[in-house]
Chains A and B, each alone.
Chain A
Amino acid sequence: MFNRLSIIIGGPQGAGLETSAQILTYSLAYLRYGVISDREYFSNIKGRHSYVHFNISSEQIPTSLTYPVQLIAALDHETVFTHFDSLEEGGVITYDVFTEEKTLDTTPSMEEDLKIRLRKIFKELGIDGSIKSLVRYISEDKKIHSVPLNYSEIINEAAKKLVLPASQAARYVSSIIIGAVSGLTNVKKKAIEYSLARRFYDRPELAQQNKVIVETVYDKVVREHGPILELAPSKLNHREMMIVSGNDIVAMAKTVGGVRFQSYYPITPAADESFTIESYEKLEVDGLEIGSILVLQTEDEIAAITSAIGAALTGARASTSTSGPGFSLMVEGLGWAGMNEAPVVITYYQRGGPSTGLPTRGSQSDLLFTLYASHGEFPRIVLASGDHLEAFYDAIEAFNLAERYQTPVIHLLDKFLANSIVTLPVPDLSNINIDRGLIIHNGGADYKRFNLSTTISPRAFIGSNCIMWYTGDEHNELGHIDEDPENREKMYRKRMEKIKIADEEIPEEKRLTYYGPEDADVLLVGWGFVKGVALDALKTLAVKGIRTAYLHIRMFSPFPSKSVEKLLERFDKSKVITVEHNYLAQAGKAILINTGVRITKEVVKYTGRPIYLNELVDGVLKILKGEDRVVLTYGP
């Protein structure tokens, strides 16, 4: 029995893989397993290869993905070609027997680069390159257990049972994957039934039809192969689990945090967040409305940020959500918010750049951009979350900080987080505070929006009982244009000093976390989605006798300079390593700028795929052997 399993399910985009992944995750959560899954896909709607990579545990909620995997469930032959070498010895592959004669030449959707690499491998292995030859090779040489299934037979059988035309039953082909995975891992049928009913709550006939396929396959694999990868019963004892993507959890957090105006222009991987908020536009509890949220799809990201700022001026908590190309368009608006001390939240899901880059793949290459975007100087707060739970709390805190310091807040996330689905205990809401900052409801006739008597001026809302002016030009206390040098100096300083106040008020321990033994020898430094894999790497490295710690940075502006500097001092310079999803090791640069300390060792990855535990551990070992920089590339 397995306490931990890594699984890949793969198939063409648009074939229902996402639904299968969702149902499997629900089923695993129902049985109290911890799950994290990453979805990898092309910028394409139908036909290109996509896959979901799961890490399942009976002992904890896993935080990272790793290779090799124990099971590959292939909806098509491209999946077999793409992933066969990710299998662990003794692992299992299930695939469609109908594809056995397929070769790379009959796989037009595959990119040529991979075909070239594979042809070379096949030649070296001396195989003809058909699926059949490949499966035979891995069965014999890598002791892979193959579970061939006849997909069309299964579909026809199910169609007969359901009295449906085969063409309609064929639409549920991805349920074969659910049946195979659950049969092989001994996920109970009851759990699958529960998940199907949940997923298709509004269309019970679909639940029923899919169930027939799942059970046919389930019974078949158990009968013919047994539950080869049987999961050990879970030791976790949650009564309830949430199943959420990063987009989902941020949408929920904004709702809790009181967002009332959310604008967006569609972009991967941010748009789903806005859709989720929109589906909760009426916040109802027991049929009673406790609030509502206006979600506005704008004509572009310029309108997204400027309309959000406009809403913020009237006192609504307002945010927009985007990715790199969209943020590039927002930059001028960001500066206006900085100049006018407007509290607006920008949720920023990084993806591979520059330009359109890798639109559906992950990246952390926009840190320096967000820290300095827009002309002129103005304070901004930049938060970066490392996992779903952090993202939840940070998304709420972003509004508090924006209103407290009257600045734009950028909440940095990434595609890895946006699209990875995890099981998660329901977050504790009891410690969440809503801090609206200095608000004046009774500004009256003498109100001055930019009153210089305090660094953070009391903020009245447009529509309250006073009037006020705002302008992107330098302005006086009233908000009228003013180019006087003395006024300029005072106003400029007033704005800039807000970040100093934030720096004094926000405890540094909230801006970073140190994980691992106090007397560690090696220090990994990272941010964002690196957190999960870094934490797992600490454990793996500890087993190898390397005492490692991880410094997780959660706020880059204001930067927790003192703590970072102090921490870095404790370590031998050759054993401090930044781990990042970018080329420049940008957090390392931010540390250098803020503390003067240069980190010279780096493990970076910019292929758009997440950093996997196995490669991170290898990378750290290489650095400890003397390398300065390791570039990771694992994962198809």
Chain B
Amino acid sequence: MARKPSDYQSDIWNDWCPGCGDFGIVAAMYRAFSELDLPPEKTVIVSGIGCSGKTPHFVKVNGVHTLHGRAIPFATGIKLANPELTVIVNGGDGDLLGIGVGHFVALGRRNIDLTIILHNNTVYGLTKGQASPTLRRGLRPKALPKPNIQDAVNPVSLALASGFTFVARGYSMMTEHLKELIKEAIQHKGAALIDVLQPCVTYDNIHTVEYYKKRVYKLEDTGWNPKVEKIEEKEEKIVKAWMKSQEYDDKIPIGVFYQDPHTPSFEERIKERIPSYLETPPARQKIEREGKTIIDSEAFRKIFSYYIVETE
């Protein structure tokens, strides 16, 4: 029998502020997981530090709550060591685009089959409302003593520039839509970003539910086709998606901006070099026989013959 959304709900009391957008994200995750019927023991949520970082504790699949900014490299190790796992990263905007932005870019370059759910609330929630890298210049959410004088980074544009092959934006209050995006992202073979607009009801008095309600519209309603149908189209599609990503004032598009199923995933690139990789990845190899190394003296001499000189 397929697993229900509630099967993915852990027993941990959820300590996000009442009304926080994060609830919508986790609810969409339960439903997406259920519809994909993800086996909990083969699914891993990796998170950073922040309000968003707590996500894995609220979900009944493997959870790895890591360091501030480092969810992607932890997830990289998990996924590459055992590519049969479904690995999802939940991170804050400070986490993924501030302290951890180098890893975000590196993930794009590798195109590892990971799904990144970016909790974009324009603030550092857990440290009480400082400006996050997605807060636009001149704005002053209520905790800030002065208006922000740093420019914002656009997650969708950055993901496109970095090489992500699935780039989408969702809105935490539209859980049905977000659920679909999460499902698509998980099913996509490669690095997938979902930039989730997530109102922080406690510290962000600017990007409120009303704010987004007025602006958010669905790309698919405009006939947008995000898909790179043929690899030759890649350049054109990525440019279009990038232009679209710049639209962020009166109107904010949500949906899939870009999807390229052609660029090989990192796992496929490894397989090119190590053909047995997917069948026997690092986590599934036997490295000992009855407590002894599988490389005995004879094997050692054969493998490392380059270093061994037979004397005169």
Instruction: For A255, give its contact among B78, B303, B309 (CB under 8 Å).
Output: B303
* Interchain CB contact under 8 A, B283 and A260: yes
* Interchain CB contact under 8 A, A307 and B76: yes
Chain A interface size band reads 35 or more
* Interchain CB contact under 8 A, B67 and A306: yes
Q: Does A89 contact B (CB under 8 A)?
A: no
Alpha-carbon separation in the docked complex, A291 to B56 (Å) = 33
Segment at the interface with A among B170-178, B192-200, B269-277: B269-277
Interface string of A272-284 (1 = CB under 8 A from B): 0000000011111
In the assembled complex, which residues on chain A have CB atoms less than 8 Å from the CB atom of B304? 242, 252, 280
In the assembled complex, which residues on chain A have CB atoms less than 8 Å from the CB atom of B276? 289, 292
In the assembled complex, which residues on chain A have CB atoms less than 8 Å from the CB atom of B72? 303
Alpha-carbon separation in the docked complex, A472 to B56 (Å) = 13
* Interchain CB contact under 8 A, A480 and B12: yes
* Interchain CB contact under 8 A, A310 and B74: yes
Q: Does A164 contact B (CB under 8 A)?
A: no
Instruction: For A311, give its contact among B54, B283, B298 (CB under 8 Å).
Output: B283
- Least distance between B81 CB and chain A CB atoms (Å): 4
* Interchain CB contact under 8 A, B292 and A283: no
* Interchain CB contact under 8 A, A470 and B301: no
Interface string of A453-486 (1 = CB under 8 A from B): 0000000011111111111110000011100000
Q: Does A44 contact B (CB under 8 A)?
A: no
- Least distance between B311 CB and chain A CB atoms (Å): 5
* Interchain CB contact under 8 A, A260 and B311: no
* Interchain CB contact under 8 A, A314 and B76: no
Residue of A243, A257, A302, A430 ringed by the most chain B CB atoms within 10 A: A302
- Known A-B contacts A303-B73, A426-B301; A314 and B67 likewise in contact (beta carbons under 8 Å): no
Q: Does A248 contact B (CB under 8 A)?
A: yes
* Interchain CB contact under 8 A, A472 and B301: no
Q: Does B299 contact A (CB under 8 A)?
A: yes
Alpha-carbon separation in the docked complex, A468 to B280 (Å) = 23
- Known A-B contacts A306-B67, A469-B56; A462 and B295 likewise in contact (beta carbons under 8 Å): no
In the assembled complex, which residues on chain B have CB atoms less than 8 Å from the CB atom of A312? 77
Alpha-carbon separation in the docked complex, A241 to B206 (Å) = 72
* Interchain CB contact under 8 A, B293 and A257: yes
* Interchain CB contact under 8 A, B78 and A311: yes
Interface string of A432-468 (1 = CB under 8 A from B): 1111100000000000000000000000011111111
In the assembled complex, which residues on chain A have CB atoms less than 8 Å from the CB atom of B80? 261, 294, 296, 307, 311
- Known A-B contacts A298-B106, A306-B67, A463-B84; A240 and B283 likewise in contact (beta carbons under 8 Å): no
* Interchain CB contact under 8 A, B291 and A292: no
- Least distance between B82 CB and chain A CB atoms (Å): 4
* Interchain CB contact under 8 A, A258 and B293: yes
Q: Does A32 contact B (CB under 8 A)?
A: yes
* Interchain CB contact under 8 A, A242 and B41: no
Alpha-carbon separation in the docked complex, A198 to B311 (Å) = 13
Alpha-carbon separation in the docked complex, A294 to B40 (Å) = 26
* Interchain CB contact under 8 A, B103 and A303: yes
* Interchain CB contact under 8 A, A239 and B293: no
In the assembled complex, which residues on chain B have CB atoms less than 8 Å from the CB atom of A468? 62-63
Q: Does A332 contact B (CB under 8 A)?
A: yes
In the assembled complex, which residues on chain B have CB atoms less than 8 Å from the CB atom of A310? 46, 64, 73-79, 81
- Least distance between B67 CB and chain A CB atoms (Å): 6
In the assembled complex, which residues on chain B have CB atoms less than 8 Å from the CB atom of A332? 67, 70
Alpha-carbon separation in the docked complex, A298 to B287 (Å) = 24
* Interchain CB contact under 8 A, B282 and A294: yes
Closest to B309 in A: A29
- Least distance between B36 CB and chain A CB atoms (Å): 16
Closest to A296 in B: B80
Q: Does A290 contact B (CB under 8 A)?
A: yes
- Least distance between A319 CB and chain B CB atoms (Å): 11
- Known A-B contacts A241-B311, A426-B297; A463 and B42 likewise in contact (beta carbons under 8 Å): yes
Instruction: For A467, give its contact among B61, B103, B274, B283 (CB under 8 Å).
Output: B61
In the assembled complex, which residues on chain A have CB atoms less than 8 Å from the CB atom of B293? 256-258, 396, 429, 432, 434
Closest to A423 in B: B309
Closest to A481 in B: B57
- Least distance between A336 CB and chain B CB atoms (Å): 6
Residue of B56, B61, B77 ringed by the most chain A CB atoms within 10 A: B77
Alpha-carbon separation in the docked complex, A315 to B72 (Å) = 19
In the assembled complex, which residues on chain A have CB atoms less than 8 Å from the CB atom of B77? 261, 263, 306-314, 318
* Interchain CB contact under 8 A, A243 and B291: no
Closest to B298 in A: A285
Q: Does A333 contact B (CB under 8 A)?
A: yes
Alpha-carbon separation in the docked complex, A294 to B85 (Å) = 17
Alpha-carbon separation in the docked complex, A313 to B81 (Å) = 9
Instruction: Classify the interface of chain A: helix, strand, loop or mixed.
Output: mixed
- Taking CB atoms and an 8 Å cut-off, the chain A residues in 75-91 that contact chain B are none
In the assembled complex, which residues on chain A have CB atoms less than 8 Å from the CB atom of B285? 260, 291-292, 316
In the assembled complex, which residues on chain B have CB atoms less than 8 Å from the CB atom of A436? 288
Q: Does A238 contact B (CB under 8 A)?
A: yes
Q: Does A31 contact B (CB under 8 A)?
A: yes
Alpha-carbon separation in the docked complex, A148 to B280 (Å) = 59
* Interchain CB contact under 8 A, B311 and A29: yes
In the assembled complex, which residues on chain A have CB atoms less than 8 Å from the CB atom of B64? 310, 313, 462, 469-471
* Interchain CB contact under 8 A, A283 and B307: no
* Interchain CB contact under 8 A, B308 and A242: yes
* Interchain CB contact under 8 A, B297 and A429: yes
Q: Does A39 contact B (CB under 8 A)?
A: no
Instruction: For B274, give its contact among A255, A292, A434, A481 (CB under 8 Å).
Output: A292
Q: Does A415 contact B (CB under 8 A)?
A: no
Instruction: For B300, give its contact among A248, A256, A435, A481 (CB under 8 Å).
Output: A256
Alpha-carbon separation in the docked complex, A296 to B281 (Å) = 14
Q: Does B179 contact A (CB under 8 A)?
A: no
Q: Does B296 contact A (CB under 8 A)?
A: yes
Instruction: For B307, give its contact among A244, A258, A294, A473 (CB under 8 Å).
Output: A244
Q: Does B60 contact A (CB under 8 A)?
A: yes
Q: Does B147 contact A (CB under 8 A)?
A: no
* Interchain CB contact under 8 A, B102 and A336: no
Alpha-carbon separation in the docked complex, A298 to B74 (Å) = 12
In the assembled complex, which residues on chain B have CB atoms less than 8 Å from the CB atom of A290? 294-295, 299
* Interchain CB contact under 8 A, B65 and A470: yes
In the assembled complex, which residues on chain A have CB atoms less than 8 Å from the CB atom of B67? 306, 332-333, 336, 472
* Interchain CB contact under 8 A, A314 and B283: yes
Alpha-carbon separation in the docked complex, A310 to B87 (Å) = 11
- Known A-B contacts A429-B300, A463-B82; A243 and B309 likewise in contact (beta carbons under 8 Å): yes
* Interchain CB contact under 8 A, A284 and B291: no
Alpha-carbon separation in the docked complex, A513 to B103 (Å) = 44
* Interchain CB contact under 8 A, A258 and B297: no
- Known A-B contacts A290-B299, A292-B277, A307-B76; A473 and B65 likewise in contact (beta carbons under 8 Å): yes
Alpha-carbon separation in the docked complex, A260 to B276 (Å) = 13
- Taking CB atoms and an 8 Å cut-off, the chain B residues in 157-199 that contact chain A are none
Can you give 29 contacting A-B residue pairs, CB < 8 Å?
A: A191-B312, A238-B311, A240-B309, A240-B310, A241-B308, A243-B309, A258-B287, A261-B77, A280-B304, A290-B294, A290-B295, A294-B80, A296-B80, A298-B73, A303-B106, A304-B73, A307-B74, A309-B77, A310-B79, A313-B64, A314-B82, A316-B285, A318-B77, A426-B308, A429-B300, A433-B292, A467-B40, A469-B65, A471-B63
Interface residues of A (CB under 8 A from B): 26, 29-32, 190-191, 198, 238-244, 248, 252, 255-258, 260-261, 263, 280-286, 289-294, 296, 298-300, 302-304, 306-318, 332-333, 336, 396, 426, 428-430, 432-436, 461-473, 479-481
